[in-house]
Chain A
Amino acid sequence: MAKSKKTLITPKRDLITRRSALKGIAAAGAAAAASTTAPGFVRYVQAQTSEPLKLGFQVHKTGIGAAYGRWYERVVNACVGEINANGGIAGRQVEIVSEDDGTDPKRGAEMIEKFATQHGVDIAFGTLFSHVVMGSAPRAGELKLPYYVVSEGYHVSSGALNRYTFQPGITDVRSQVSSMAPWVADKLGKKVTMIYPDYAFGHDHRDYFSEAMKKQGGEIVELIPIPPTETSYTKYFPKIPSSTEVLYHVMVGPGVLTFVKELGEHYGSNRPEIFGFIDSLEAVPIDSPGLEFLEGTYFWEGYPRYAQPDQTPYDKHYREVVGVNDEGASVNDPKDISTYSHMFGCWETLYIIKQAIEASGYKGPKDKAALIEATEAITDIPWDNQHPQGDKVFNGKMHQVFGHQNISQVANSKLDVVHRTSIEDGMYENDTDYSKMPL
């Protein structure tokens, strides 16, 4: 029995390794032979730079970020497919090496290590959850591995990270909330109660939205932090003061439906204005049972989930290539809702990487410094197929991109954009200057 098992399994394995080994040897031999003996094949001399460009994709395949990770992966695959079909980056095909970080900061750092030492990637990118970025970025800096995150945390432009970490494809929380505040204060009300998760991401909201509201003459009447593991919210609602004009919510994780449902049970039809971040409902159908309560409330959207009447050809193209329909769901399964307001960041980041590599003449890891400088030199980003969310301005000192934001209202269980901010609305000043750090 044992013997037959062995003969069933092992030869197959041997065949694969042997075959691939032989292939490798043959290819190397041919290249060597061509470059040394046949003058007609000199172009093989540059074989090293014609090798595929390896991008390490740090993805949340498991853990709390898995719903986002699934869509980040789809966007990355679609984008790389498009880039490769159009001749790759600087003439080189792109190869994605994806590793699951389990949405865990410790594992995130290990993955960076693995990318740099084991896979020998040129660039790492794609991390979303801010605690994983905070865990991984220092290691990327130590290993001098260019690291392009897609996280919307304020950690990049705050100056907390390093010269090798960029966020060129998605705006940060501070910019988002600062650009929202004038509209909220003007249209909804000036007395705001904030409900937010009690960790870094929520604290960014708390700090910068409060600051921006005060500038508008508004007032935060109550702050209600919620522990990230909470599963029931009813008990927090009595803390909302009755003077509240606007309830601001940003919740992440599997508890959000409960949150909305319980809020509905608490208030009934007599509610204050409600403004939320779509993060609460990414990957969740707006017409889910229990979400009827959200009808008429407002959301920040990074990139409108529902195709709008004034849809650009760029958005059409992006939806088509990624496989997302006009309702923001997968074309294969209308119940599979995308993380539309975040995942475009992967697409745009990949095109920024392409731009920076081509501008710097990057050939291999020895050209890292040139790649970093070329990324820092990017300024205006046009609105086109490569950047379907909108035009943007990249700040090379902060390593952070700035762009337009959208405010949408829930109407008939869909999201209609009612306001689009200007890039300037989300601009802010700080002392961060990564470009002065040594390379």
Chain B
Amino acid sequence: MDFGPYLFLAVLEGTVTAAVLALTALGLSLVFGVMRIVNVAHGEFFMLGAVLAWWFSSMVSGSPAIGFLVAIVMAPLVVGAIAVLCERTVLKRINYDPEATIVATIGILYIIQQLALTFYGADARPVQAPVNFRVVFPWFGYSGYKLVVIAASAVLLLATWFVLTRTRFGLIMRATQFDSETAQAFAIPVDRVYAVVFAIGAMLAATAAVLIVPIQQAHYLMGGDPLLLSFIVVIIGGLGSIFGTVVAAIIIGISDGVISVFFTPTLAKILATLLVALVLVLRPQGLFGKTPR
């Protein structure tokens, strides 16, 4: 294949990665930004989203599109409920203490993972794509559904941005992020905001997973990679900065696609990690993060 089409393919692949990664990392970034906690179990919420998507779609008979629509509505809702449960029963009890939450969320990670193994099993199970068409470029064929994933992610990212910047709820969230004590003084129920934010973070990851699962099967160990990549993205983009998260996801996603096509996937990972190290040394607050006051 010639260089041009090859590069085009690499960019397409990278964009799919970036789209899903942006959604997942945005969830992690929101939780960190507002609650100031590091959620190590974030990848497991992603996995749960995928596993539940399989469950819901296999319950619905008939057209795969209906099954998928049920999954993309229901799976994030259930994952959100589970996240609230974790938040109320674990994180709240330890007062969101930064060190304790890391250990606690590692525990949650293992509990969720093993429960998935027990009840869902060790198989990788496919979910049928809601639309099934092949886009034929002059040089190669490409999955139409992957283009749908890119579009859907973009819409969801815009929606999240809209909620955060243009609605009353977004204002409350931003206020809590800016200064939770003052927010509380202004009668913002910080406690409830935390629960909602934690749920939204998990739901974003779950939604990303439902989108990816027709491409990449649900498997109980699939939460590891998104977690690692989300951390990389959030650190590069700046903790708590939504714009930074999206930009970093695009950088990481596309560079991963292009570098692994033209060189090796290992090199792509090396460079991403190196970039994290550079950011931490030269600009610890991240590319778009604000210096803490």
Contacts and interface: CB of A to CB of B under 8 A. Distances in A.
Q: Do A and B come from one complex?
A: yes
Interface of A: 62-64, 66-67, 69-70, 227, 229-232, 234-238, 253-258, 261-262, 265-268, 283-284, 288-290
Contacts of B265: 227, 230
A65 to B, nearest CB: 8
A271 to B, nearest CB: 11
B261 interface: yes
Interface of B: 1, 5-6, 9-10, 13, 16-17, 64, 114, 117, 121-124, 126, 128, 134, 136, 140-143, 215-217, 219-222, 225, 257, 260-261, 264-266
Contact of A67 (B122, B128, B140): B122
A268 B141 contact: yes
Given A232-B215, A267-B141, A289-B128, A69 B13 contact: no
Centre residue among B10, B121, B257, B265 by max chain A CB count within 10 A = B265
B134 A231 contact: no
A251 B123 CA distance: 15
Contacts of B122: 62, 66-67, 69-70
A238 B143 contact: no
A235 B117 CA distance: 30
A231 B126 contact: no
Nearest to A68: B122
B107 to A, nearest CB: 17
Nearest to B224: A229
18 contacts: A63-B221, A66-B220, A69-B122, A70-B122, A231-B225, A232-B216, A235-B257, A235-B260, A238-B140, A253-B124, A254-B217, A265-B134, A265-B143, A266-B141, A268-B136, A284-B124, A289-B64, A290-B128
A237 B140 contact: yes
* Closest 4 pairs (CB-CB, A-B): A66-B122, A254-B124, A254-B219, A238-B1
Contacts of B136: 268
A229 B219 CA distance: 13
A254 B9 contact: no
B10 to A, nearest CB: 6
Centre residue among B5, B126, B264, B266 by max chain A CB count within 10 A = B126
A257 B136 CA distance: 21
A69 B134 CA distance: 36
Contacts of B1: 238
Contacts of A268: 134, 136, 141
A283 B122 CA distance: 10
Given A227-B266, A238-B6, A66 B117 contact: yes
A62 B113 CA distance: 10
A257 B124 CA distance: 8
A265 B117 contact: no
B124 A235 contact: no
Contact of A258 (B114, B123, B215): B215
A265 B64 CA distance: 18
A288 B143 CA distance: 17
